[in-house]
């Protein structure tokens, strides 16, 4: 009996330590001195989101309106948001 209580206490203390470590990293992430930028993993989700939104909007609006007015504005907004997100990431990665 004594051995099982010790194992249980150790198990719960390791879970508590893992949760504390996760919360510490979530609230105050570690600062790194260098940042690697991968173009493909960064841009592919944006392209997929814009493509899915374009296809979804063509079912509601006329395709000519979507391709001439909505798609260019989505692309411009994506580029601006991507740029600000990249600069924000660089700022957070700086020491």
pLDDT digits (tens, 9 = 90+) for 13-49: 555 656 666 666 555 555 555 556 778 888 899 999 9
- pLDDT band with cut points at 50, 70 and 90 for residue 89: confident
Q: What is the pLDDT of residue 95?
A: 67
Residues 23, 8 within the same domain: yes
Orientation angle between helical segments 39-58 and 71-93, nearest 10 degrees: 150
Query: What phi-psi label fits residue 31: left (phi over 0), alpha (psi between -120 and 50 degrees) or beta?
Result: beta
User: 24 with 47, same domain?
Assistant: no
Shared-domain flag, residues 13 and 25: yes
Domain hosting residue 1, numbered range: 1-30
Same domain, 6 and 47: no
> How confident is the model over 62-87, as pLDDT tens digits?
999 999 999 999 999 999 999 998 88
Same domain, 25 and 71: no
Number of domains in the chain: 2
CA gap 24, 30 in Å, rounded? 9
One DSSP character per residue, 15-69 reads HHHHHHHHHHHHHSPPP-S-----HHHHHHHHHHHHHHHHHHHHTTS-HHHIIII
Question: How confident is residue 5, by pLDDT bands cut at 50, 70 and 90?
Answer: very low
């Amino acid at each position: 009996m004594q051995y099982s209580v010790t194992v249980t206490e150790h198990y719960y203390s390791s879970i508590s330590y893992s949760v504390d470590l996760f919360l510490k990293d979530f609230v105050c992430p570690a600062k790194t001195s260098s940042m690697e930028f991968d173009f493909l993993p960064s841009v592919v989700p944006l392209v997929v989101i814009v493509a899915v939104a374009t296809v979804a909007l063509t079912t509601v609006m006329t395709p000519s309106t979507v391709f001439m007015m909505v798609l260019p504005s989505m692309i411009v907004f994506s580029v601006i948001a991507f740029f600000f997100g990249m600069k924000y990431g660089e700022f957070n990665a700086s020491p």
